[in-house]
Amino acid sequence: MQYTPSTYSGTRYTEVLSELIHANDTIGKNFVRVIDGIKYKTSIPSISGGITLQPYAEVMPQGVSVNDTIKLSDAVLMPEKFTAYTTFTMNALRETYFSESMAKGAAQMDSDPFLNLVITQSQGKVGEEVEKKIWEGFSTVLTAATDVKKTTGPVLTAANLKAEFIKLYGDIDKNVIRSKEAVIYADLEIYQLLQLANVNEQFRDTFTVDQEGTARFLNTVINFVPMPVAGTVMAGRRSDFIVGTDLTDDFKGIEVGKVYNNSDLLFLKAVMTLATGVAATKQKVLRKVAP
């Protein structure tokens, strides 16, 4: 952790300003299904397919064909353990903004406002990294699957966004659309393109955004997430995109303590487990920018 303060001069601004952080909406707003309580490994079964009708017979003849396409498959979740770790000392704070919050005495260097600030900022940054890992995982699963509907297209712009989303919508499985659980996951940068695309519409918005900030295309929800590759778009049923973990609260848990009991060096640490899986990959769409 790096801190290069200005020397305390007797006056200070009462608010500490921080950079804006994109929150972990994937977990916080339930963009996907989250399953906790997984200590080591589990599998999530899914079923697809159907049965075709055939002429009735009181006794089915031997050798009659089985007219079904029912298929069972598993999304395997095996959470991997991750940690975020840094060290810092409060000695340099004695001449800074935070000195007024320290108790009297040379050995007293604790500053609750400083710790609260660091923890709050760290929670946001850890949340960002967790969300990136989640979508790296989904991208890896869908890229490796052989039955996913994979498409490529040009770099998305405000001018071509409508046409490219019409193609994407057409690729979504009709049963997913009818399930009312269809969702499009788009890269964060596409949100601004979406608003610009609406500027070019003469009569009505192609993309709608409600008062709560939820975007839709042809009444299908669009969630904006940090894709590992710019311009990537995924689509499918929300509950088929699965995040597995031991304890959901670990995503926002930050521990602060002394590195050694006889020193003033402090550590900040977060530990969590994380796995991603996708069920019914046949009903998923993965769009990437053409090379």
pLDDT at 119: 67
Q: What is the mean pLDDT of each run of 10 residues along the chain (291 residues)?
A: 43 42 76 86 76 74 66 78 81 53 46 62 78 94 94 93 94 91 94 85 74 89 94 94 81 76 80 88 94 84
274 neighbors 245 (Cβ within 8 angstroms): yes
pLDDT, one tens digit per residue, over 142-171 is 999 999 999 999 999 989 999 999 999 999
pLDDT at 251: 66
pLDDT, one tens digit per residue, over 20-71 is 445 678 888 889 998 888 888 888 777 777 777 777 777 766 666 666 677 7
Cα 147 to Cα 235: distance, rounded to the nearest angstrom:
14
- Environment class of 160 (CB within 10 Å of its CB; exposed 0-12, middle 13-18, buried 19+): middle
pLDDT at 90: 66
pLDDT at 241: 94
pLDDT at 130: 87
Both tokens of 56, joined, read 């009735």
Beta strands in 120-176 (DSSP E): 149-153
State the CB neighbour count (10 A cutoff) for residue 265: 12
pLDDT at 266: 76
pLDDT at 220: 95
